[in-house]
Amino acid sequence: MSIETKVQKRKSKIDGWLFFPPLIFIAALVVWVIRDPVRAGKSMSSAFSFVTNQMGWFFEWYILSAMAICIFLCVSPLGKKHFGAEEPEYSTFAWLGMVFTAVAGFGVLTWTSIEWFYYAQTPAWGLEPYSVEAMEYAALYPIFHWGPFGFIIATLAGVLYAYQFYVRENNDVRPSASCVSILGEKHTNGAIGKIMDALFVIALLCSVVTCVGVNVPTFFGIVSRVFGVQPTFAVQAGIIMLWSILMAFLLYTGLKKGIRFFSNVRVIVGFGVLIFLLFVGPTAYLCNSFTDSVGVYIQSSWRLILNTDIFGKSGTPQNWTVFYWCWYIVLALANGIFFAKISKGRTVRELVIGSILAQTVGSWLFFAIFQNYCIYIFQNNTIDLGGIIATSGQGEAIVSLWDYFPFAKFLFPILMVYGFISMQTLLNGNCFSMAVATSKRLPDGEEPPIWVRIFWSIGIGLIAISLLLIGGIQPAQTVSIVSAVPLTLVIAVMVWAFLKDSHKRWG
């Protein structure tokens, strides 16, 4: 085969309608930020405020509606329907384990360590900062965001894709493919379908940028402890590109075993650190504090789901709850694909209940130990977290708390390796999903071109570096918040199509 023919074959696997819009988005965003970081930062701040303040109520009702749909799926006759074969592909223990460990990422360490502080510092409902009641809600709010309500939208997406893969027997991950019963073949393959799919790819891109953007400060804080120096912008940019280039190398050389090894190490190290801190730390305090938080959660969760704090005007629901719901929405389809891939043979009810419970238990274990240990450190030591965040950033504030962990000097190198590996597995999974979505429909068993996965890996790195110029975590949050707005419509159409099609097939 000639070189020209090979190139033509490679090009033919790319769907231009889906590949180039995200490419243009990357180029435009990077150039815009680099040309004037200050102005870009102000514009992003305005976009963040507009969506969270003007549309916050919408996202709260949207998540509550998703919860209502999942409850309906469980209690209705649809709950007994199987996805494909009668016998599950994986044992229940193995299946729950895969969902359970999916939350063992670096991001959960970031938020377990610092999220509670923002609520204690600026509590909702006009509570006195750092008061007993404020601290109770500070410990509650994170497990609310990382609990059943937070995981509901990805679980619903898992149902949609499992139905697509195993009942309709269509392995296409593009949203438009599941909407034929609503859009019809003409619109599914036409402009409407292309727009839906392009929004999915852009949202997926933004979700990964948010993951990288909020975790980078924490990772650099760890690096400063391990090497004794604060990384410069050049070093930070270099580390981000190293993530991208290393992943590109692994993809190019086909080292799937290496990627799988990284994923296994991530899970072992993450839960290993948890067990270590539980037994060498204030064990009774950690258990008592978590128990108390769960009690407050049971009492207050339904109040929080529709909280806008319209009279207290703390901004907590807008800055945090709405952000999380938007972030989970843009992550939903990619996570849903993963849940669907491992759920062949499961019933609808099993997928809904098992997915929500396993994710909740997995994340709450981290909050039970990391969050409550950090609160314990804050209450028993003099640490000006607010001042550190204002002058040195969130990452430095987090490692300032971790300085008080037992054997911290030995833990920091372990956490650095854990953070680096977590970024690798994050990039691999999402770059693969983006490559599949932007390639032409692939035959069963065929993977997208490696160079496409490499391209998206590097593209994500470039966006993350450009956002470093603005500083803070809000720019990374904003890209997900803005992209969630149109994606809500895409997911709504997918749900509508599922309910219509399943009624015909399952009765």
How does pLDDT run across 413-469, given as a tens digit for each residue?
A: 999 988 888 877 777 777 777 888 888 776 666 677 778 877 888 888 888 888 888
Q: Is 18 helix (H, G, I), strand (E, B) or coil?
A: helix
pLDDT at 7: 43
CATH classification (class only), 16-506: mainly alpha
- Interatomic CA distance for residues 1 and 13, integer angstroms: 17
pLDDT at 229: 84
Residue 47: how many CA atoms within 13 Å on its side-chain side?
18
pLDDT at 272: 92
- Interatomic CA distance for residues 333 and 337, integer angstroms: 6
The segments of the chain whose pLDDT lies below 70 read 1-12, 247-260, 442-446, 507
pLDDT at 373: 97
Contact 70, 345 (CB under 8 A): no
pLDDT at 478: 92
Q: What DSSP designation does 311 have?
A: T
Query: 389: Cβ–Cβ under 8 A, 6 or more apart, which residues?
Result: 396, 397
pLDDT at 250: 66
- Interatomic CA distance for residues 440 and 94, integer angstroms: 33
Q: 25 is written with which tokens?
A: 């988005």
Q: 228 is written with which tokens?
A: 């004794």
pLDDT at 86: 74
pLDDT in tens, 295-317: 999 999 989 999 999 998 899 99
- Measured distance between the N- and C-terminal CA atoms of the chain, rounded to whole angstroms: 51
What percent of the chain has a predicted confidence (pLDDT) above 70? Answer: 93
Q: At what angle do helices 148-166 and 323-341 cross, to 10 degrees?
A: 40
Among 12, 11, 27, 416, residue whose Cα is nearest residue 205: 27
- Interatomic CA distance for residues 430 and 107, integer angstroms: 15
- Interatomic CA distance for residues 156 and 332, integer angstroms: 8
What value, to the nearest 5°, has the Cα angle with vertex 120 and ends 114 and 123?
125
pTM of the model: 0.92
- The contacts found for 230-238 with CB under 8 angstroms, 24 or more apart, are 233/468, 233/469, 236/465, 236/468, 237/465, 237/468
Q: Please report, as a single letter, which amino acid is at residue 310.
A: I
pLDDT at 18: 85
What value, to the nearest 5°, has the Cα angle with vertex 263 and ends 262 and 267?
115
Contact 317, 307 (CB under 8 A): yes
Q: Please report, as a single letter, which amino acid is at residue 270.
A: G
- Residue 467 burial class via C-beta count within 10 angstroms: exposed 0-12, middle 13-18, buried 19 and up: buried
pLDDT at 2: 46
Contact 146, 367 (CB under 8 A): yes
Ranges of each domain in the chain:
16-506
Q: What DSSP designation does 4 have?
A: H
CA-based radius of gyration for the chain: 22
